[in-house]
Amino acid sequence: MADQANTIEVPTDAELLQSQADLWRHSLYYLTSTGLRCAIKLGIPTAIHRLGGAASVPGLMTKLSLPASKQPFLRRLMRVLVTNGVFAAEHNDGEVERYCLTPLSRILVDGVVADEHHSQTSFVLAATSRHYLEAALGLDEWFRKDVAPPLPSPFEDVHGASLFDESTALLDPELDAVVNEGLAAHDNLGIGTILRECRDLFRGLRSLTDCCGGDGTTARAIAKAYPHVKCTVLDLPKVIDKAPNDGVVNYVAGDLFHTVPPAQAVMLKLVLHHWSDDDCVKILTQCRKAIPSREEGGKVIIIEILVGPSLGPVMFEAQLMMDMLMLVNTRGRQRDERDWRDLFLKAGFNDYKIVKMLGARGVFEVYP
């Protein structure tokens, strides 16, 4: 056994060269993330948009007021981001003439007023922040520590603070602001898609409570599309205090661990992945108490990432990266269908249905 442990199968020449290239990619992926962060901090997506949707490097240099000496370096940054699909390139005689927005970079444009445009720049800035990266760099130390449950996240272990908690603001007010802005933008993206693709989800409802509904963006969109639905938003007092009181939705300050305002349906959109299984059962139990029987139309609507390889390797990888984000920064996780089914049963629900897959997310109806 000792001799075997000291030997290893040597790759072929082709395998060795490919392995080295793969190692470069995996070791240096952070440079793609930080390159994307750089583009956002410079305002490149917004600049291209304001230049009519396409821009040359000299045009970008002028628009962004960058020193002329940096022009060749900007070309190199844009080349990487084009290769990764952040931007597209128009070519003339084999040379890049102009850079254009892609669907990805369109959601990184700031300052646009549109019902379904929720700029994701804050999400990127949070995900690539020093605090997130330091937490990830401490992952090996976190694995080595033997501590009693409930286990702190690596973020808590490194920083002594919990995300989305008052302690984050004490740690760094700027981080707290960008994290909360990123959370709101991330959660509100795709509301229109949900309303178009899942029309029966809200049809026939008389009332709905949107748990952790923030400033009511989602609830207002539902109320606009379905005026007969009385929408209530439940969130923490610090969130409700800043919400617009426009009379379209009703706001309730509270804690979903203790009580959920009664309604025919309760909605949890991108909430449960932040929490442990035990906490999810407590939340779902409160939701079950807030709704009537299935015969009376009672249900819980859950919109969450539904992990699985059926959507292809790129989407599956995105789901797993989001699970790693939860592992490093929260006590929650992304879940596959069996995980969700177990939570529903433990919380006292009798049945559920996957209404539709919308990209990486699944839309569930859960019945008492």
DSSP 192-260: HHHHHH-GGGTTT-SEEEEET-TTSHHHHHHHHH-TTSEEEEEE-HHHHTTS---SSSEEEE--TTT--
Q: What is the pLDDT of residues 92-101, one digit of tens each?
A: 877 778 999 9
| Average pLDDT of the chain, as a whole number | 94
Strand ranges across the sheet with 87-92: 54-55, 95-101, 87-92
> Is residue 312, in this structure, part of any structural domain at all?
yes
Confidence of residue 243 (pLDDT cuts 50, 70, 90): confident
Confidence of residue 1 (pLDDT cuts 50, 70, 90): low
Q: Are residues 87 and 136 in the same domain?
A: no
The whole-model pTM stands at 0.93
Q: Tell me which residue range forms the domain holding 212.
A: 190-367
Q: How many whole angstroms separate alpha carbon 298 and alpha carbon 260?
A: 14
Helix, strand or coil for residue 166?
helix
Residue 102: exposed, middle, or buried by beta-carbon count in 10 A (0-12, 13-18, 19+)? Answer: middle
Q: Are residues 158 and 242 in the same domain?
A: no
Q: What is the pLDDT of residues 284-336, one digit of tens each?
A: 999 999 999 999 999 999 999 999 999 999 999 999 999 999 999 999 999 99
> Is residue 3, in this structure, part of any structural domain at all?
no
Q: Are residues 228 and 304 in the same domain?
A: yes
Q: How many whole angstroms separate alpha carbon 320 and alpha carbon 223?
A: 33
Q: What is the pLDDT of residues 145-166, one digit of tens each?
A: 999 888 999 999 999 999 988 8
Helix, strand or coil for residue 275?
coil
Domain count, the chain: 3
Among 114, 23, 124, residue whose Cα is nearest residue 81: 124
Where is the domain boundary, 65, 85, 110? 110
Q: Are residues 233 and 275 in the same domain?
A: yes
Q: Are residues 90 and 162 in the same domain?
A: no
Please check whether residue 213 is in contact with residue 221, taking contact to mean a CB–CB distance below 8 angstroms. Answer: no
Q: Are residues 222 and 153 in the same domain?
A: no
Enzyme catalytic residues: 273
Q: Are residues 194 and 177 in the same domain?
A: no
